[in-house]
């Protein structure tokens, strides 16, 4: 089966023979310290760029160190003073706007300090997130996966953000920006660039009540590709960011970072790739909360039973256990929304008398037993709860445009698989992983 890559090789950068050496020289001048035991390469890597071990490495070895002054952020951009002054006008729900404004400016400025960095991605033409696919292609390849809905929200938010925040800011500073150059199309590409290449430093325990840190671009660190079974990790310190091995690495082996415990649909949505089955041990499948309600309503025979289910659903909504746009997240071994799914199954299968007693005994979710801490506990549910979960899983599977058997047939024919485009391969891996998890759920809920 073909290896999954961080990003498909959709096009070759202009003057690739010059771009990478120039970038590495820039790294050295910026104070980046790169171990002689590793090297950035365009050959033998999972995507256009990657990091290879020139020598065998042990766990805990530092691969490179990047001073914070080399990072590209709203604080290091040449626009930093203006961004601080205009902070109030650049507020957004994502918190990305100041960085995106910085990128709009720096990537179109011929004298930008980060010019060698941007030269690795000329015009950002290699970005191939689903947001850049045609609507029909997205619908054909990704129906039922959850990616379609995520992309539609992204595109709507990007357009809204550009028209209501970015464009007024550009027009307010005509000496710096030109709306004919700093277009919505470029802005969309930069959003995808931030999605795929930025890093976000987590808050420590003392800072947990504060706003999340804004994303930053980390040159060199963002050239490492991702797999679930990674062998390196980025560590943060006040002065620098360091990439450190987490396990021994053989000479010639690629060094992979991790973007977190992400399902294949999230990887495709955010980064434009998916891991080949069964490589992504973090893969998940979603059952929409509204689908559980639909399954419960389908099982009713009378108006009174239907009213009871709707009352139970409203109660769950009031307790913030469910919502119209929420989803129950199921992994290979874990139920990541264990409390929500457990309580929803419990409440939606109660008789009218049981529901009345339940409401009188407890008015919030605290103290409710979590029944499904792992998928192995699903067979221990009551018959009614298993039937409801089974029916909701079946409805979820019906949302796909193809069956598990069809996906298995394609994956079993290596020649046919390799003839697929990168988009088709990645979409197939997303669908297949989700369906395998859902079919496992069916077996457990029988």
User: Which domain CATH number covers 168?
Assistant: 3.90.1410.10
31 near 67, Cβ under 8 Å? Answer: yes
Q: How far apart are CA 26 and CA 69, in angstroms?
A: 13
CATH assignment of the domain containing 301: 3.90.1420.10
Handedness of CA 20, 24, 30, 32 (dihedral sign): positive
Number of domains the chain is built from: 3
Instruction: Kindly state whether residues 413 and 342 are assigned to the same domain.
Output: yes
* Start-to-end C-alpha separation, the chain: 31
Instruction: Kindly state whether residues 438 and 290 are assigned to the same domain.
Output: yes
Instruction: Kindly state whether residues 110 and 25 are assigned to the same domain.
Output: no
252 near 53, Cβ under 8 Å? Answer: yes
Pairing of strands 232-236, 50-53: unpaired
Q: How far apart are CA 421 and CA 417, in angstroms?
A: 9
Residue 12, pLDDT score: 40
In a domain, 10, yes or no: no
Residue 11, pLDDT score: 38
| Beta-strand runs (E) in 6-147 | 33-34, 38-41, 50-53, 62-67
- Point out which residues pair with 254 in neighbouring strands: 52
- Buried/exposed 282-321: b ≥16 CB within 10 Å, e otherwise: bbbbbbbbbbbbebbeebeeeeeeeebbeebbebbeebeb
Element (H, E) at 367: none
Residues 6+ apart with CB under 8 A from 198: 99, 215, 216, 217, 218, 222
In a domain, 265, yes or no: no
Angle at 315 between CA 309 and CA 318, to 5 degrees: 145
In a domain, 209, yes or no: no
Phi then psi for 225, rounded to 5 degrees?
-85, 170
Prediction pTM value:
0.92
Residue 2, pLDDT score: 35
Alpha helices, DSSP H, located in 144-279? 147-161, 167-172, 184-197, 264-271
Question: How many Cα atoms are found within 13 Å in the side-chain-facing hemisphere of 253?
Answer: 16
In a domain, 25, yes or no: yes
Instruction: Kindly state whether residues 171 and 35 are assigned to the same domain.
Output: no
Instruction: Kindly state whether residues 128 and 226 are assigned to the same domain.
Output: no
Handedness of CA 171, 176, 180, 184 (dihedral sign): negative
Q: In terms of residue numbers, what domain contains 194?
A: 79-199
Q: How far apart are CA 161 and CA 154, in angstroms?
A: 10
In a domain, 192, yes or no: yes
In a domain, 342, yes or no: yes
In a domain, 152, yes or no: yes
Q: What is the pLDDT of residues 322-381, one digit of tens each?
A: 999 999 999 999 999 999 999 999 999 999 999 999 998 865 554 455 678 899 999 999
Residue-wise pLDDT tens for the chain (446 aa)?
333 344 444 334 446 668 999 999 999 999 999 999 999 999 999 999 999 999 999 999 999 999 999 999 999 999 999 999 999 999 999 999 999 999 999 999 999 999 999 999 999 999 999 999 999 999 999 999 999 999 999 999 999 999 999 999 999 999 999 999 999 999 999 999 999 999 999 887 666 667 889 999 999 999 999 999 999 999 999 999 999 999 999 999 999 999 999 999 999 999 999 999 999 999 999 999 999 999 999 999 999 999 999 999 999 999 999 999 999 999 999 999 999 999 999 999 999 999 999 998 865 554 455 678 899 999 999 999 999 999 999 999 999 999 999 999 999 999 999 999 999 999 999 999 999 999 999 999 99
In a domain, 208, yes or no: no
Instruction: Kindly state whether residues 377 and 294 are assigned to the same domain.
Output: yes
232 near 246, Cβ under 8 Å? Answer: yes
41 near 51, Cβ under 8 Å? Answer: yes
Q: How far apart are CA 34 and CA 242, in angstroms?
A: 10
Instruction: Kindly state whether residues 294 and 226 are assigned to the same domain.
Output: no
Query: Which of these, 326, 337, 338, 318, lies nearest to 289 by C-alpha position?
Result: 326
Quote the tokens at residue 242. Answer: 């360091």
Burial of 446 (0-12, 13-18, 19+ CB in 10 A): exposed
Quote the tokens at residue 14. Answer: 């202009």
Pairing of strands 216-217, 232-236: unpaired
- Buried/exposed 393-427: b ≥16 CB within 10 Å, e otherwise: bebbbeebebebeebeebbeeeeebeeeebbebbb
Instruction: Kindly state whether residues 43 and 93 are assigned to the same domain.
Output: no
Instruction: Kindly state whether residues 246 and 317 are assigned to the same domain.
Output: no
Torsion of CA 303, 309, 311, 313, to 10 degrees: -150
**Count of CB atoms situated within 10 Å of the CB of 126:** 19
Instruction: Kindly state whether residues 328 and 388 are assigned to the same domain.
Output: yes
Name the percent of the chain lying above pLDDT 90: 89
Instruction: Kindly state whether residues 96 and 64 are assigned to the same domain.
Output: no
**Count of CB atoms situated within 10 Å of the CB of 257:** 22
Instruction: Kindly state whether residues 160 and 40 are assigned to the same domain.
Output: no
Q: What is the pLDDT of residues 163-222, one digit of tens each?
A: 999 999 999 999 999 999 999 999 999 999 999 999 999 887 666 667 889 999 999 999
Residue 203, pLDDT score: 80
156 near 191, Cβ under 8 Å? Answer: no
């Amino acid at each position: 089966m073909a290896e999954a890559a961080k990003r498909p090789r959709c096009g070759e950068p202009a003057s690739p023979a010059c771009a990478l050496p120039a970038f590495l020289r820039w790294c050295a001048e910026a104070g980046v310290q790169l171990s002689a035991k590793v090297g950035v390469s365009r050959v033998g890597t999972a995507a256009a760029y990657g990091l290879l071990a020139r020598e065998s490495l042990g766990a805990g070895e530092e691969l490179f160190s990047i001073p914070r002054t080399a990072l590209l952020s709203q604080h290091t951009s040449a626009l930093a003073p203006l961004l601080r002054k205009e902070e109030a006008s650049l507020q957004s729900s994502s918190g990305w706007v100041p960085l995106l404004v910085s990128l709009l400016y720096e990537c179109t400025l011929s004298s930008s300090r980060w010019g060698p960095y941007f030269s690795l991605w000329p015009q950002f033409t290699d970005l191939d997130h689903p947001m850049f696919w045609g609507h029909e292609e997205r619908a054909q390849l990704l129906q039922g996966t959850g990616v379609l809905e995520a992309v539609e929200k992204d595109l709507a938010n990007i357009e809204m953000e550009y028209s209501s925040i970015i464009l007024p800011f550009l027009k307010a500073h005509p000496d710096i920006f030109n709306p004919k150059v700093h277009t919505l199309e470029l802005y969309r590409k930069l959003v995808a660039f931030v999605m795929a290449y930025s890093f976000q430093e987590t808050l420590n325990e003392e800072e947990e009540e504060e706003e999340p840190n804004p994303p930053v671009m980390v040159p060199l660190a963002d050239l490492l590709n991702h797999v679930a079974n990674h062998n390196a990790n980025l560590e943060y310190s006040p002065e620098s960011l360091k990439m450190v091995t987490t396990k021994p690495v053989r000479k010639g082996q690629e060094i992979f970072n991790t973007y977190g415990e992400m399902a294949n649909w999230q990887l495709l949505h955010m980064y434009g790739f998916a891991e080949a089955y069964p490589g992504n041990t973090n893969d998940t499948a979603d059952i929409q909360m509204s689908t559980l309600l639909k399954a419960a309503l389908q099982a009713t025979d009378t108006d009174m039973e239907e009213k009871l289910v709707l009352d139970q659903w409203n109660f769950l909504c009031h307790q913030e256990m469910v919502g119209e746009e929420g989803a129950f997240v199921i992994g290979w071994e874990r139920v990541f929304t264990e409390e929500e799914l457990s309580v929803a199954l419990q409440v939606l299968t109660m008789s009218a008398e049981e529901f009345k007693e339940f409401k009188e005994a407890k008015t919030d979710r605290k103290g409710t037993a979590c029944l499904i801490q792992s998928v192995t506990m699903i067979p221990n549910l009551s018959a009614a709860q298993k039937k409801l979960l089974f029916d909701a899983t079946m409805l979820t599977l019906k949302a796909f445009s193809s069956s598990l058997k069809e996906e298995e047939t394609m994956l079993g024919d290596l020649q046919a698989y390799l003839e697929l485009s990168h988009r088709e391969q990645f979409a197939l891996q997303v669908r297949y992983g989700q369906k395998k998890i859902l079919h496992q759920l069916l077996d457990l809920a029988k």
